[in-house]
């Protein structure tokens, strides 16, 4: 069974779950199964059949975009992590830890 | 990573020329940072692990390279002239580097940052001559970027380098960081750098691939805690325009705990006092060194540990909990 970790921003589309157990030998198969159970989640992480631009998917802690994409193999006990794409940098790294949610960027940069 | 997509044009060379006698200003001392072998951290004698010490740039970080390059490229293109004011949304290393460049060249600098940025940052930037404009704390970092963009649009006096979209950022690492490594080493199998704007990985990565086509260019990427991830909606997502992930060979997540373990290992075994992102880079460097078994692995360490001395993780037993509410690099 593969564990799929859901980021806070996508949990409302997965009935609030932090983790979902799913089966499959590739990222595509695992996410297909997850998508069948949570269609709203599927709509958010896929875009024209591919992983949406602002979603990052990691298997074994490594981005599938530098592996085989949706065909990246997934071991049975693997963890698949979904994350929103976040630009690095230092804007918030030096801010206090008490910051609250940022507003949507509406087409402009949302950098740290 | 394929092909060379490093921007060409009228960018002044970022590398310091061979210099005799004293430097004419700190700007002459940007780059040409030391490369040091980490013999005690290498997983086996068959792998030579090196660190490029970017904290030894004049203002203390790798951002000196891009601050100088972005300003001098704009000057060369006639986009920036005396009397203009530099404007950047930053409360970090880029702000400090821009403050150094601005002060030496006689420009003003305004940094836009959320009102909850730490007092230490504000004080350092002010001491270096920067003006601070606060954006609303509850709008987070987006608020700072959007306010800076509005200010630049409304007042033509402002010039915004904007490191996330400025090709001079990439060029500085192609001409500087990458070229320096390629000049100093006969072999590079792996290059690891932290993923922020993507400038180091794109620029130095392209240059390393030119000299060592089979080298692996690897990004170390922070895995923030849930409270930080929770600040981002997908609509809020952002991929810096200068970053092309398809040109990376590897992209690995590093947890806060792994980053701090890397910082501690650097300090305890090599006496190198480095910042949090450097800990992540060394973590990935050692992992890939084990994978390749033999060869040369180069880690780019972006800054020193000084700016993190007041951080809670040094003494924390549960590093993840101590760090989960903040973004560290």
Q: Residue A103: pLDDT band by 50, 70, 90 thresholds?
A: very low
Q: What pLDDT does residue B123 have?
A: 87
**Contact map slice: B 13-72 vs A, CB within 8 A:** none
- pLDDT tens for residues B132-150? 999 887 776 667 888 998 9
Find the range with the poorest average confidence among A62-76, B121-135, B219-233, B254-268: B219-233
Q: Which two tokens stand for residue B76?
A: 């060369």
Task: Please give the residue that has the higher pLDDT: either B15 or B282.
Answer: B282
Nearest CB to B137 within list A89, A94, A99: A99
What does the DSSP 8-state code read for residue A100?
Answer: -
Nearest CB to A92 within list B249, B250, B327: B327
- pLDDT tens for residues B165-214? 999 999 999 999 999 999 999 999 999 999 988 999 999 999 999 999 99
Tell me the sheet residues that pair with A58. A63, A81
- Supply the residues of B annotated as catalytic: 63, 277
Residues of A in contact with B259 (CB under 8 A): none
Contact across the interface for B93 and A54, Cβ inside 8 Å = no
- pLDDT tens for residues B48-70? 999 999 999 999 999 999 999 99
Nearest CB to A83 within list B92, B114, B229: B229
Q: Is the pLDDT of residue A94 over 60?
A: no
Please, what are the domains in chain B?
26-56+174-321 (3.40.50.1100), 85-156 (3.40.50.1100)
Contact across the interface for B116 and A98, Cβ inside 8 Å = yes
Tell me the sheet residues that pair with B50. B37, B298
Task: Please give the residue that has the higher pLDDT: either B224 or A54.
Answer: A54
What is the C-alpha separation between A63 and A98, in angstroms, rounded?
A: 29
Tell me the sheet residues that pair with B254. B222
What is the C-alpha separation between B46 and B295, in angstroms, rounded?
A: 7
Tell me whether residue B245 is exposed, middle or buried, using C-beta atoms within 10 angstroms of its C-beta: 0 to 12, 13 to 18, 19 or more: middle
Residues of B in contact with A46 (CB under 8 A): none
Average pLDDT estimate for A13-31: 97
* H or E element, residue A80: strand A79-84
Q: What pLDDT does residue B4 have?
A: 47
Q: What pLDDT does residue B325 have?
A: 67
Q: Is the pLDDT of residue B42 over 50?
A: yes
Q: Residue B235: pLDDT band by 50, 70, 90 thresholds?
A: low
Residues of B in contact with A109 (CB under 8 A): 142, 145, 149, 162, 164-165, 238, 240
The residue whose two tokens read 């690095």 is A88
Q: What pLDDT does residue B159 have?
A: 96
Tell me the sheet residues that pair with B36. B51
Predicted complex ipTM: 0.86
Q: Is the pLDDT of residue B3 over 70?
A: no
- pLDDT tens for residues B58-112? 999 999 999 999 999 999 999 999 899 999 998 789 999 999 999 999 999 999 9
**B179 contacts: CB under 8 Å, gap ≥ 6:** B15, B207
What is the C-alpha separation between B244 and B170, in angstroms, rounded?
A: 11
Buried (b) or exposed (e) across B155-187, using 16+ Cβ within 10 A?
Answer: eeebbbbbbbebbbbbbbbbbbbbbbbbeebee
Q: Is the pLDDT of residue B276 over 80?
A: yes
> H-type helices in B28-165, by residue range?
63-76, 93-105, 119-127, 140-154
Q: Is the pLDDT of residue A12 over 80?
A: yes
Nearest CB to A63 within list B114, B235, B251: B251
Q: Which two tokens stand for residue A53?
A: 């631009």
Q: Is the pLDDT of residue B26 over 50?
A: yes
What is the C-alpha separation between B122 and B104, in angstroms, rounded?
A: 20
Residues of B in contact with A78 (CB under 8 A): none
Task: Say what percent of chain B tops pLDDT 90.
Answer: 69
Does the beta carbon of B153 lie under 8 angstroms from any beta carbon of chain A?
A: no
Q: Residue B312: pLDDT band by 50, 70, 90 thresholds?
A: confident
| Contact status, residue B278 vs residue B302, Cβ threshold 8 Å | yes
The three-class DSSP label of residue B110 is strand
Residues of A in contact with B240 (CB under 8 A): 87, 109, 111
Q: What pLDDT does residue A31 have?
A: 97
Cα first-last separation, chain A: 35
* H or E element, residue B323: helix B319-323
Average pLDDT estimate for B30-47: 98
Phi, psi of A51 (to 5 degrees): -65, 130
> H-type helices in B185-303, by residue range?
199-211, 226-229, 256-270, 276-292
Q: What pLDDT does residue B47 have?
A: 98
Q: Is the pLDDT of residue B236 over 70?
A: no
Q: Is the pLDDT of residue B2 over 60?
A: no
Please, what are the domains in chain A?
2-84 (3.10.20.30)
Chain A to chain B Cβ contacts (< 8 Å): 206
Q: Is the pLDDT of residue B13 over 70?
A: no
What does the DSSP 8-state code read for residue A6?
Answer: P
Q: Is the pLDDT of residue A92 over 50?
A: no
Give the closest-approach CA distance of A23 to chain B in angstroms. 23
């Amino acid at each position: 069974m593969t564990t799929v970790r859901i980021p806070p921003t996508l949990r409302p589309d997965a009935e609030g779950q932090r983790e979902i157990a799913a089966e499959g030998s590739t990222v595509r198969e695992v996410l297909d199964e997850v998508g069948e159970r949570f269609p709203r989640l599927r709509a958010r992480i896929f875009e024209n059949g591919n992983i949406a631009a602002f979603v990052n998917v990691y298997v074994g802690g490594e981005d599938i975009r530098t592996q085989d994409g949706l065909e990246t193999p997934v071991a049975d006990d693997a963890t698949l992590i979904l994350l929103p794409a976040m630009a690095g940098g230092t804007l918030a790294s030096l801010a206090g830890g008490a910051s609250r949610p940022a507003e949507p960027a509406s087409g402009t940069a949302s950098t740290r | 990573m394929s092909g060379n997509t490093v921007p060409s044009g009228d960018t002044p060379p970022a590398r310091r020329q061979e210099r005799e006698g004293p430097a004419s200003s700190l700007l002459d001392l940007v780059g040409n940072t030391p490369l040091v072998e980490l013999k005690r951290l290498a997983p086996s004698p068959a792998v030579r692990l090196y660190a490029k010490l970017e904290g030894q740039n004049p203002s203390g970080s790798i951002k000196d390279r891009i601050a100088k390059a972005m300003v001098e490229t704009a000057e060369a293109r006639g986009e920036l002239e005396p009397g203009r004011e530099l404007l950047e949304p930053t409360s970090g290393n880029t702000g400090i580097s821009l403050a150094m460049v601005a002060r030496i060249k006689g420009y003003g600098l305004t940094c836009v940052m959320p009102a909850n940025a730490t007092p230490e940052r504000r004080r350092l930037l002010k001491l270096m001559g920067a003006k601070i404009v606060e954006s609303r704390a509850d709008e987070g970092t987006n608020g700072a970027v959007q306010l800076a963009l509005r200010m630049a649009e409304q007042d033509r006096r402002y010039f915004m380098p904007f490191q996330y979209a400025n090709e001079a950022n990439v060029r500085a690492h192609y001409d500087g960081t990458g070229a320096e490594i390629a000049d100093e080493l006969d072999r590079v199998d792996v290059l690891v750098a932290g993923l922020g704007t993507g400038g180091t990985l794109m620029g130095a990565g392209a240059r390393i691939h030119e000299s060592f086509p089979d080298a692996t260019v690897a990004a170390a990427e922070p895995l923030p805690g849930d409270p930080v991830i929770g600040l981002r909606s997908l609509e809020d997502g952002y991929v810096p325009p200068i970053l092309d992930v398809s040109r990376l060979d590897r992209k690995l997540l590093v947890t806060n705990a792994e980053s701090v373990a890397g910082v501690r290992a650097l300090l305890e075994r090599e006496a190198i006092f480095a910042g949090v992102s450097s800990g992540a880079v060394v973590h990935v460097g050692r992992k890939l060194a084990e994978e390749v078994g033999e060869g040369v692995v180069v880690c780019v360490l972006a800054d020193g540990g000084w700016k993190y001395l007041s951080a809670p993780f040094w003494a924390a037993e549960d590093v993840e909990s101590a760090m989960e509410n903040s973004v560290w690099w």
